A and B are shown apart, each in its own frame.
Chain A
Amino acid sequence: MAEISTPPTQHRLSRAGLAALLALGAIAVACVVLPLGAAGTPEAPALPIAVWVDVAMNWIVRDASLFGIAFSDLTRALATAAQWPIEVMQKVLAEGWVSGAGFNKRQVLPPASWLGVTLAASLLAWRLAGLRLGLFAAMSGIYLATFGLWTSAMMTLSSVLFCVLASLSLGLVLGIRAHRSPGIEPAVRAVMNIMQTVPTFSYLLPTLLLFGYGPSAALFATVAYAMPPMVHATVIALQSVPSDTLDLARMTGCSRRQTLWKVELPVAMPRLAIGLNQVVMMTLNMVIIASMIGAGGLGYDVLRALRRLDFGAAFEAGMAIVVLAVLLDRLTQALARQQSAGNGRGRAQRTWVVGLALILVPSVLSLFVPALALWPEAWTLSVAAPLNDAVSYINQQFYDPLEAIRTTVLLYVMNPIRDALQLLPWPLVIAATALGGWRLGGGRTAATVVVLGLFIVVTGYWSAAMGSLYLTLLSVILALAIGFPFGIWVAGRTRLQAGVQLFLDTLQTLPTLVYLLPAVMLFRNGDFSALIAILSYAVAPAVRYGIDGMLHVPSERIEAAAMSGCSRWQTFRHVRLPGALPTLLLGVNQTVMMALSMLVIAALVGTRELGQNVFTALSQGMAGPGIVAGLCVAALALIIDTILKAAAARATQSEGNSHV
Chain B
Amino acid sequence: MYKKTLTAFTITALAFGTAAAAFEAESDQPIKLMQADWTSSLVDTEILNIILSTYGYTVEKVIADDSARYPGFENGDLTIALETWQTTQDKAFNASVATGKVLDMGELGPKAREDWWYPSYMEELCPGLPDWTALKSCAEAFSAPETAPKGRYLGAPVSWGGHDEERIEALGLPFEVVHAGTDAAMFAELRSAYERKAPILLWVYKPHWAPSVYDGKFVEFPAYEEACYTDPAWGLNKDKAFDCGKPQGWIKKMAWAEGEKIWPCAYDITRKFTMDGDEVGKLVYEVDVNGRTVEDVAMEWAKANEAKWREWATCAAN
**A interface, CB within 8 angstroms of B:** 100-107, 204-205, 208-209, 212-214, 291-296, 300, 303-304, 306-310, 370, 373-374, 392, 395-396, 399, 403, 407, 410-411, 415, 513, 516-518, 520-522, 524-526, 529, 602-607, 612, 615-616, 618-621
Q: Are B37 and A616 within 8 A (Cβ)?
A: no
Can you identify 15 A-B contacts, CB atoms within 8 angstroms? A102-B53, A104-B15, A105-B5, A205-B68, A208-B68, A291-B63, A293-B65, A309-B184, A411-B145, A520-B192, A521-B188, A521-B192, A525-B180, A607-B181, A619-B159
A102 to B12, CA, bound (A): 10
Q: Are B71 and A208 within 8 A (Cβ)?
A: yes
Residues of A within 8 A of B159 (CB): 615-616, 619-620
CB-CB nearest in chain A for B46: A102
Q: Are A618 and B49 within 8 A (Cβ)?
A: no
Identify which of residues 144-201 in chain B touch chain A, using a CB-to-CB cut-off of 8 Å. 144-146, 154, 157-159, 178-189, 191-192, 195-196, 198
| Interface residue? B77 (CB, 8 A) | yes
Residues of A within 8 A of B188 (CB): 309, 517-518, 520-521
Task: Other than A370-B1, A525-B180, give 19 A-B pairs with Cβ distance below 8 A.
Answer: A100-B12, A100-B53, A103-B11, A212-B72, A213-B32, A213-B62, A294-B63, A304-B37, A395-B195, A395-B196, A399-B192, A399-B198, A520-B189, A525-B154, A525-B185, A615-B159, A615-B181, A619-B65, A620-B67
**B interface, CB within 8 angstroms of A:** 1-2, 5, 8-9, 11-12, 15, 32, 37-39, 46, 49-54, 56, 58-60, 62-68, 70-72, 77-78, 92, 144-146, 154, 157-159, 178-189, 191-192, 195-196, 198, 209, 288-289, 291, 302
Contact of B178 among A395, A606, A615 (CB under 8 A): A606
A213 to B64, CA, bound (A): 7
Dominant secondary structure of chain B at its interface with chain A: helix
CB-CB nearest in chain B for A294: B63
Measured between C-beta atoms, what is the minimum distance from A567 to chain B in Å? 48
Known contacts: A101-B58, A294-B62, A308-B288. The answer to whether A411 contacts B186 by CB under 8 A is no
Measured between C-beta atoms, what is the minimum distance from A211 to chain B in Å? 10
Measured between C-beta atoms, what is the minimum distance from B243 to chain A in Å? 26
A205 to B77, CA, bound (A): 14
Known contacts: A521-B188, A521-B191. The answer to whether A604 contacts B181 by CB under 8 A is yes
A306 to B67, CA, bound (A): 19
What total count of A-B pairs have CB within 8 Å?
176
Known contacts: A392-B195, A616-B159. The answer to whether A106 contacts B1 by CB under 8 A is no
Known contacts: A103-B12, A612-B158. The answer to whether A296 contacts B63 by CB under 8 A is yes
Residues of A within 8 A of B184 (CB): 306-307, 309, 513, 517
Q: Are B195 and A102 within 8 A (Cβ)?
A: no
Residues of A within 8 A of B145 (CB): 403, 407, 411
Which 8 residue pairs of A and B lie closest in terms of their CB atoms, listed nearest first? A102-B53, A521-B192, A103-B54, A606-B181, A604-B181, A619-B159, A102-B50, A294-B63
Q: Are B51 and A396 within 8 A (Cβ)?
A: no
Residues of A within 8 A of B66 (CB): 619
Residues of B within 8 A of A208 (CB): 68, 71-72
Q: Are A606 and B288 within 8 A (Cβ)?
A: no
Residues of B within 8 A of A205 (CB): 68, 71
Known contacts: A524-B144, A612-B158, A620-B159. The answer to whether A399 contacts B196 by CB under 8 A is yes
For B9, B11, B180, the residue with the greatest tally of chain A CB atoms inside 10 Å of its CB is: B180
Q: Are B157 and A619 within 8 A (Cβ)?
A: yes
Q: Are A102 and B154 within 8 A (Cβ)?
A: no
CB-CB nearest in chain B for A101: B53
